[in-house]
């Protein structure tokens, strides 16, 4: 069974940022996983099909999930 998935281009400094579940699925299904990657969606969309993205050599990165700031800091900044 082949699995195809559309991944809109999430670019940061020229890199693709797949979700952890996408990496796991790619590792598990290998040649049966065909993600479609779309770039330039807002201007002139280009869609690329990749069979077995595991061969791309994905490198894990840490990313910020959430940030926080105190309400005191917000109110202080608003009063400046």
Range of the domain at 10: 3-78
Question: Per residue in 48-71, pLDDT tens?
Answer: 788 888 888 877 777 767 677 777
DSSP 44: S
- What's the CA gap between 50 and 9, in Å, rounded? 13
Identify which of 6, 2, 1 has the alpha carbon closest to the alpha carbon of residue 49. 6
Alpha-carbon separation of residue 53 from 9, 23, 56, 63, 74 (angstroms): 15, 8, 5, 21, 43
pLDDT digits (tens, 9 = 90+) for 7-47: 554 444 466 767 788 888 888 999 998 887 777 777 777 77
Number of domains within the chain: 1
User: pTM for the full model?
Assistant: 0.55
Six-digit token string for 77: 């900044």
Through-space distance between the first and last CA atoms of the chain, rounded to whole angstroms: 61
């Amino acid at each position: 069974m082949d699995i195809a998935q559309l991944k809109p281009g999430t670019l940061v400094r020229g890199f693709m940022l797949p979700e952890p579940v996408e990496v796991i699925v790619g590792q598990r299904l290998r040649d049966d996983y065909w993600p479609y990657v779309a770039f330039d969606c807002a201007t002139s969309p280009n869609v690329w099909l990749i069979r077995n993205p595991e061969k791309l050599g994905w490198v894990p990165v840490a990313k910020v999930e959430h940030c926080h700031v105190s309400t005191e800091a917000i109110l202080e900044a608003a009063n400046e």
